[in-house]
A and B are shown apart, each in its own frame.
Chain A
Amino acid sequence: MIEMLKLGLVLMLVALIAAVALSLVNSRTAPLIEIQQELEKQNAMSEAAASLMPDDSLAFDSLSIDNLENPYASCDELLQVVKVFLPPDTSRIGYVFIAYGKGYSSTIQTMVATRMDGRVSGTIILNQQETPGLGANIVKPSRLIDHLIGMNGQECLLKKDGGTIDAMTGCTITSRTVVNSVRQGLEDMNEAGLFSDEIAVDEEHTEGGSE
């Protein structure tokens, strides 16, 4: 019995030391990690929004549920929309959102910038752990995500699904995930009435033409 107690004590001591050591390191590294992730997100947001208007002074503002009546915006895993504006003018020039989709072997996060008319202006793959050399090529813009630019919710479809986008060779699943998750986001935003067609369209088109 005493023997058992001693063994248990030793094990507990070892576990305790380990836990204390880890919590010490964690208290140092956790804030750093948080800052880094926030910075990464900010950078990606600016990069995506630069496709709307190449201006360093673009500002972002998370759309809160109150002024939006959008059932989707409340769930951050599904859709988190950020409006983009150019201070001091606070009228929105577009949106940035992150599309989440389950790919072949990971959840793929795509940062998407859209114009006010609901057309995609820029895309960046934020996170993916697809098969290297295959699905992981999704991070190369020319392979797939560049083709999404200029499309709206309805047009965002693979050729195999009746649309016009070519899937990447050998990785239909990855391609479909990205395309479908972006379409889902666009459609949800459209349903929530975030896009305005009329006047804004013309402005944005001239903007796009001058780039």
Chain B
Amino acid sequence: MSLMKDLTNGIYKENPVFKLALGMCPFLAVTTSVENALGMGAAATFVLIASNFLVSLFRNLIPSKVRIPCYIVIIATFVTLVDMVMHAYLPALHKSLGIFIPLIVVNCIILGRAEGFANRHPVLNSVADGIGMGIGFTMAMVVLATFRELLGNGTWLNMDVLGSAFQNQPLLIAILAPGAFILLSFIMGFFKILETRKGGCQ
């Protein structure tokens, strides 16, 4: 029961991006296309689950004074592992995601969940939390990437959606840096409205 709660927690109630405002840098940087968002989401989810698992497993062995450096080392190790394995076995995916993978290290969602959840919860719950947070992060990225790719390029997941007439004169701003900020602001505002509506009904 509580496992289920930990799993779904990250997807909506404590969505890392829209609610906790964590992991903004990779979130804004890779959402230029849905494909990148999915790839980044998969890589980050893997690192999140693995680091939550290890941190939770050794939570009683690591002295609390040096826990943050230890967590950072664990996270950086997994990121480098993902980088190397992907480069060797999935070169095409690595090519399109290459620059974003090292950025996972400084994704504050991962350190935040290690520090905020995994170091005081049992292994299974921590893994569930990792999965939930990872899905929540990926979904948030896909939402923003959908808007940016559709408006800025006229495609979705590289599929033609809005036709060639639009593609010749797309809303370029959406795919450029300002578009990420502005669209994120609107999405966050939308979530806020949803919340106040819900609060009003109760």
Direct A/B contact, Cβ within 8 angstroms: yes
Residues of A within 8 A of B (CB): 6-7, 10-11, 14-15, 18, 21-22, 25-26, 28-30, 32-33, 36, 40, 127, 129, 131-134, 170
Q: Does A36 contact B88, Cβ atoms closer than 8 Å?
A: yes
Total inter-chain residue pairs, C-beta < 8 Å: 72
Rounded to whole angstroms, the CA-CA distance of A53 and B63 in the bound complex is 67
Provide the residues of chain B in CB contact with A7, threshold 8 Å: 63, 65-66
Binary interface encoding of chain B residues 21-45 relative to chain A, with 1 for a CB under 8 A from any of its CBs, else 0: 0000000000011001000000000
If A11-B70, A133-B33 are given as contacts, then 6 extra A-B residue pairs at C-beta distance below 8 Å, sorted by A number, are A10-B70, A11-B66, A14-B62, A29-B85, A29-B88, A133-B32
Rounded to whole angstroms, the CA-CA distance of A10 and B63 in the bound complex is 8
Within 77-113 of B, Cβ neighbours of A (below 8 Å) are at 77, 80-81, 84-85, 87-89, 91, 95, 98-99
Please judge, given known A-B contacts A11-B69, A132-B36, A133-B175, whether A25 and B84 are in contact too, CB under 8 Å: yes
B146: min CB distance to chain A, Å: 14
Q: Does A25 contact B85, Cβ atoms closer than 8 Å?
A: yes
B161 within 8 A of A: no
Which A residue sits closest to B175, measured CB to CB? A133
B73 within 8 A of A: yes
Provide the residues of chain B in CB contact with A36, threshold 8 Å: 87-88, 91
From A6, A21, A30, contact of B77 by CB (8 A) = A21
From A14, A15, A21, A134, contact of B172 by CB (8 A) = A134
B153 within 8 A of A: yes
From B77, B91, B98, B149, contact of A22 by CB (8 A) = B77
B74 within 8 A of A: yes
Which A residue sits closest to B64, measured CB to CB? A7
Rounded to whole angstroms, the CA-CA distance of A131 and B174 in the bound complex is 12
Q: Does A134 contact B176, Cβ atoms closer than 8 Å?
A: yes
Q: Does B153 contact A132, Cβ atoms closer than 8 Å?
A: yes
Q: Does A131 contact B176, Cβ atoms closer than 8 Å?
A: yes
B7: min CB distance to chain A, Å: 28
Residues of B within 8 A of A (CB): 32-33, 36, 62-63, 65-66, 69-70, 73-74, 76-77, 80-81, 84-85, 87-89, 91, 95, 98-99, 149, 152-153, 170, 172, 175-176
Provide the residues of chain A in CB contact with B32, threshold 8 Å: 131-133
From B70, B81, B88, contact of A33 by CB (8 A) = B88
Pick from B91, B98, B99 the residue with the most CB of A within 10 Å. Answer: B91
Which B residue sits closest to A129, measured CB to CB? B99
From A22, A32, A132, contact of B33 by CB (8 A) = A132
Please judge, given known A-B contacts A18-B77, A133-B153, whether A29 and B87 are in contact too, CB under 8 Å: yes
Provide the residues of chain B in CB contact with A127, threshold 8 Å: 95
Q: Does B73 contact A14, Cβ atoms closer than 8 Å?
A: yes
Q: Does B175 contact A18, Cβ atoms closer than 8 Å?
A: no
Q: Does A25 contact B91, Cβ atoms closer than 8 Å?
A: no
A118: min CB distance to chain B, Å: 31
Which B residue sits closest to A40, measured CB to CB? B91
Rounded to whole angstroms, the CA-CA distance of A185 and B133 in the bound complex is 49
Rounded to whole angstroms, the CA-CA distance of A40 and B95 in the bound complex is 12
Provide the residues of chain A in CB contact with B76, threshold 8 Å: 18
From B74, B89, B175, contact of A14 by CB (8 A) = B74
Rounded to whole angstroms, the CA-CA distance of A32 and B66 in the bound complex is 36
Provide the residues of chain B in CB contact with A32, threshold 8 Å: 88-89
Pick from A26, A29, A36 the residue with the most CB of B within 10 Å. Answer: A29
Provide the residues of chain A in CB contact with B175, threshold 8 Å: 131-134
Rounded to whole angstroms, the CA-CA distance of A40 and B149 in the bound complex is 29
Please judge, given known A-B contacts A7-B65, A132-B33, A134-B172, whether A18 and B91 are in contact too, CB under 8 Å: no
Which A residue sits closest to B154, measured CB to CB? A133
Pick from A14, A28, A129, A170 the residue with the most CB of B within 10 Å. Answer: A14
